Amino acid sequence: MVPTDAGVEANECMKVFIARNPDEAGSANSTSLQPFDLNHFFGEDGKIYGYKNLKINVWISAISFHAYADISFEETSDESQISSLFFRIAGLNCFPYRYSNVVTDGNVIKHVELQGAAAFLYCRLVPLILLLVEGSTPIDITEHGWEMLLVVKKSAQASSSSNFLVLGFAAVHHFYHYPESTRLRISQILVLPPYQGEGHGLRLLETINSISESENIYDVTIEDPSDYLQYIRSSIDCLRLLTFDPIKPALCSMVSSLKETNLSKRTSSLKMVPPSDLAVTVRQKLKINKKQFLRCWEILIYLNLDAEDRKTLDNFRACIYDCIKGEILGTSTGPNGKRLVQMPSNFDEETCFAVYWTQDGGDADDQTVEQQPEDLKTQEQQLNEVVDSQMEEIVEVAKNVTSRGKDKLSVSCSV
């Protein structure tokens, strides 16, 4: 019987590997999936109790996605706990499968309808999803409209039981959009660790865009994208927009306005937004939703600015500032409108605030909390931090677009 112990963190006693052939299982040649957080599978403190010198190594086949576990310990208070350890990670529902080639450039992308055998494939992928995609949950495959796209390549292993290796996948959901169209939401996208950095995620997104256009989907959205996924998505969409002729007149007009206007003294203002009908055209033709188009619009404008023209760049930043300030504080300056007030907090007193709206009627003095100079200074600092962060994101995507699409940039604004 193991005496009362302090437990051991899952991250300290458990390792997970990808094995591309049977010989790698149990060997040092396997590809480790570390680092990631295993603790959150095991209660609030992330610990496993009841074992002395517990060691767990898990090998997942890169071909079948079956798993083999090597578990060792000196003593245990309850050996039946062993199986329950893995249910926390791997126990779940299942899914379907109809193959049709969508892309055959290098590695093949298979379009998979979620029924039949694909259900079992998805079940085997679920542990990797939970381990590698932060905050993920398995999709409900009993719900109509789920499909999966797989990036595969021909196996080089002569003894392999499968002709293909799965390099990555995306789970997408078709759902109804009133009155008679369908939207496409990307719920999960994952490239397996041995194959990351090879452009497979980019190809998955490009294929989804191609499908959405060919099937006349209303638009494409992504459920809670990570910062990196949003970076790749924006890069792809900006490259598509650079060759989309309908946006060029409005884009060039906006760039000209930034060059001709002086916003430094704040005596004039300029809204850096595209015409509403252009957003509709982009959605109809490229299936880019409005929110994503507005994000790309800022990047496209930045791409057409002269890096040596300080005044124009300052004007650009001023427009970003005004946009963010309007989103957070609103535009009303009277007694009625959106307000921001500093709030006490046990976490970070300088970064916590509340937004509220005052109502029509009544005494304005009863509705409005007067902000002290130090509050206004903090508010200004916080706004500038948000603006700086967004500017950094714009610059990073612009660099990627420039490196990947020099030929497309040559046909943009030359004002």
- Say if residue 209 is in the same domain as residue 249: no
Asked if residue 338 is part of any domain, the answer here is yes
pLDDT score at 369 = 52
Same domain for 199 and 115, yes or no, is yes
In a domain, 334, yes or no: yes
The answer on 333 and 272 residing in a single domain is yes
Judge if 265 and 315 occupy the same domain: yes
* Residue at a domain's end among 90, 125, 157: 90
Same domain, 337 and 248: yes
Q: Do 214 and 247 belong together in one domain?
A: no
Within this chain, do residues 46 and 107 fall inside the same structural domain, yes or no? no
Residue 202 resides in a domain = yes
**Which residues constitute the domain of residue 167?**
101-224
The pLDDT tens digits of the residues spanning 55-106 come to: 888 888 887 787 777 888 888 776 555 566 666 555 433 333 333 334 334 4
Is 223 among the residues known to form the active site? yes
14 vs 232, residue with greater confidence: 232
Final residue in a domain of this structure, among 170, 199, 224: 224
Confidence of residue 170 (pLDDT cuts 50, 70, 90): very high
More confident residue, 111 or 180: 180
- The structural domain count of the chain equals 3
Using alpha carbons, select from 67, 153, 147, 64 the residue that is nearest to residue 113.
147
Q: Over the range 101-119, which residues count as b (16 or more CB within 10 Å of their CB) and which as e? A: ebbeeebbbbbbbbeeebb
Q: What is the CA radius of gyration of the chain?
A: 26
Do the beta carbons of residue 136 and residue 126 sit within 8 Å?
no
Strand, coil or helix: 238: helix
The answer to whether residue 366 scores a pLDDT higher than 50 is: no
- 85 and 134 together in one domain: no
Residue 151: which CATH number? 3.40.630.30
Residue reference for tokens 């509705």? 367
Q: What is the CATH number of the domain that holds 70?
A: 3.90.360.10
- pLDDT at 217 > cutoff 70: yes
Res 379: pLDDT: 85
Q: Are 98 and 113 in contact (CB under 8 A)?
A: yes
Band of pLDDT at residue 249, cut at 50, 70 and 90? very high
- The answer to whether residue 229 sits within a structural domain is no
Q: What's the confidence (pLDDT) of residue 294?
A: 96
Looking at the structure, tell me whether residues 296 and 208 fall in a common domain: no
Cα distance between residue 113 and residue 178, in whole Å: 23
Distance CA 176, CA 247 (A): 28
Percent of residues, the chain, with pLDDT higher than 70:
72
pTM: 0.78
* pLDDT band, residue 48 (cuts 50/70/90): confident
- Domain shared by 392 and 249, yes or no: yes
Residue 208 lies inside a defined structural domain of this protein? yes
Residues 55, 44: Cα–Cα separation, whole Å: 21
In a domain, 15, yes or no: yes
Both 115 and 219 in one domain: the answer is yes
Residue 185 lies in a domain: yes
pLDDT of residue 83: 61
* Residue 370 counted as domain residue: yes
Q: What angle do CA 41, 44, 50 make, to 5 degrees?
A: 75
Q: What is the token pair recorded at 304? A: 């057409």
pLDDT tens-digit map of 110-167: 555 555 666 678 877 887 888 888 778 888 777 888 888 989 887 766 555 566 788 9
- Kindly tell me if the per-residue pLDDT of 372 is higher than 70: no
Confidence of residue 370 (pLDDT cuts 50, 70, 90): low
**DSSP annotation string for 48-69:** E-SEES-EEEEEEETTT--EEE
Average pLDDT estimate for 257-264? 84
Q: Which one is catalytic: 223, 298, 308, 349?
A: 223
The pLDDT, as a whole number, for residue 268 is: 61
If asked whether residues 66 and 195 sit together in one domain, one would say: no
Provide mean pLDDT across the span 405-413: 67
